[in-house]
Structure 1
Amino acid sequence: MGTHVIKMPDIGEGIAEVELSVWHVKVGDMVVEDQVLADVMTDKAMVDIPSPVHGKVIALGGQPGEVMAVGSVLISIEVEGAGNVKESAQPAPVKEAPVAAAKVETVVESKPVAAPSPKAAVCQGPMVARAADERPLASPAVRKHALDLGIQLRLVRGTGPAGRVLHEDLEAYLTQGQSNASAPVAAAYAQRTDEQQIPVIGMRRKIAQRMQDATQRAAHFSYVEEIDVTAVEELRTHLNEKHGATRGKLTLLPFLVRAMVVALRDFPQMNARYDDEAQVITRLGAVHVGVATQSDVGLMVPVVRHAEARSLWDSAAEIARLANAARNGKASRDELSGSTITLTSLGALGGIVSTPVLNLPEVAIVGVNKIVERPMVIKGQIVIRKMMNLSSSFDHRVVDGMDAALFIQAIRGLLEQPATLFVD
């Protein structure tokens, strides 16, 4: 028998170190070739590390959350034959992640192999009673899904990172016939003194670092404008009725992308990146729109490339494809990088006003709030219209307030007169 040592590979793009996010194996496990051993986090995306050999895990080289240099020992596997480490030159045993670290995997990260499946976890205890004022962790999409199903999220056991409730947990909850169940009165009013410490690692650490970096380096300012989206919603409904079955359904997002593309023709300073170290602004002709997407592991920004060359349906299909890839953890590094301006939306949960944080090194981000019906005065008459706010942020080091307002006003004009979206 021999030992095969797998070192942290060179991910490319000049990356010298990565963060070990989660182990999918433990000491004593038998692994096969191409089995995923661990996930590591670069500055841009999560990367799987597969096994190149068959064998038995004898040592792990780090713990989740640890930053490891490229070339350092990741894992040691006992294999048939000589392996790749000579007996006389075999390195000292690398540290094994303690039992506590394995527990952190099941709480904090998204998909450790050793963790039970959502349905299995629910079968062990499908309903969990939380305090009435305790807000369970869940993405906006999961909250909306639970609302549509009539499920109280506080009664659903979450199997995601830090107990986050996932779509699969809602399905398992329904499967167990608990959708209409209520928590026992005694449990609902019981005092709680428990605490839980959640290590900030993996995707959450990257998000925290990027948000902190953006707010410290850029001179943020926000601008909010109200838009009458009645006409564009009527157009969207008409197009879906006529072409939805053959071309796919349209949401509001591809119309917003189109409006941004057209408005950027007159405001190219918004479609730019600012290198504050070199003091250089780069304006780009290509419009690569980042679409902020909430996933079970945190916020991701997949990129719709060359939005200026896409039709409504092409944009809609690409937005849907990228969002699905991001939520399933399948988005590549290329799909998560290279945006020139970002669009962010919480959909039906979008609220009235928000203050989006810039996606550096970009200088503009357009935020979409929810659509509500309100009485408006038009030509002296009170009518019911569908209204929506755009809450957008800009880097004041690069973008002047007047230009930002005019840019958003241009988007407003295009959406309120949607025929102008297609007039070249």
Structure 2
Amino acid sequence: MTSTVPGHGRRGFARQLLRSDLVLLAAALIASGLGAVLVHSATRADAGSAYLVRHLLNLVIGLLIALAIVRLDRAALRALAPFVYLAGVVGLVLVLTPLGSEINGSRSWIQVPGGFSIQPSEMAKVGLCVALPMLLAPAAERRDRPRPREILLAGLVTAVPVLLVMAQPDLGSALVLVALALGVLVVSGASWPWLAGVLLAGVAAVVAAFTTPLLSAYQRDRLTAFLDPSADPLGIGYQTQQVRRAIADGGWGGQGLHAGDLTSSGAIPFQETDFVFSVAGEELGFVGAAFVVCLLGLVVARIALAGTRSDDPFVRLVCWAVASWFAVQSVENLGMNLGLLPVTGLPLPFLSYGGSSMFACWAAVGLVVAVTREERSATGRGPVRPRR
């Protein structure tokens, strides 16, 4: 199951890793390191260095996961795709049993020893990033559009985790899964009626969330506060107002690291997770916040570029699946910090505190490096460009 490309062995693997997209790896590492700084600033008043240590531990584990994945070649990843997908689905099922824990109106976590928790919806994202390309790559390999049977199977593979996530309920993660699937279908060459069907399914999920008792009272308050922050002045409305105020108070240069008035006072609940961007806005100002946006944009762009340059359909679809996931989740998190989108509880990739998110993000980076490093090793420069 290990790589069979030239340069086999530890030295060969090290050379291949150095030929990987170092810009992507550097951007993801810098984002994770900056996240540690922001998380520490948001939590040091109440918890000292506890969250900083855990964030760095999560980062180390995430890097080890990525390194393990990078050692696999494309054939191994395609063979393992069903098992990764099934592991995510099993986790989503278990979280709905008594093993699951409810936090803020959503039964999305499984508590494990040591005070840590696992969020299976993050693993489900990784599973879809390999399962959908495995199903849809054969069509491109025979230089054809995906057949209806292949698209319907891909739709079923997507619908299972989406419905399980909605049952928690977790509308934000469900929308990310739908967007990920849509990105893969677009790149696979699926015809527009199928793409329209996926969009309608996403819209139907949102409508169902608003018109049925699916969402908890806490989650409904989040959506209500987005439309009218004064409707819940002591709850989520207060939280979102404080977040916007913190970002606005940062100005151009910020109030200084560990010197943000609202951040230091702990006035923003869950600032280290959902609203870590507000720490950058208040303490690092517009310049620091823009740097965060540019870092995440660079990660997405490098992954999408790797997919665009590859002539291997499986590689292309994996890269675009990961790029779609990171792009949609980043936009949603930044949007809810800026008051442009409702609060859905999605973490900011690489920066927010949370082990499951960090592990999943680095696993996704590992996937991208694993599927593209063979092409880079063959040329010694970069991904092979598509033949015309």
Q: Which has the higher contact order (CA 8 A, sep 6+)?
A: 2
Of Structure 1 and Structure 2, which has the larger fraction of its residues in strand? 1
Same fold (TM over 0.5): no
- TM-score normalised according to structure 2 size: 0.27
Of Structure 1 and Structure 2, which has the larger fraction of its residues in helix? 2
Greater Rg by CA: 1
- TM-score normalised according to structure 1 size: 0.25
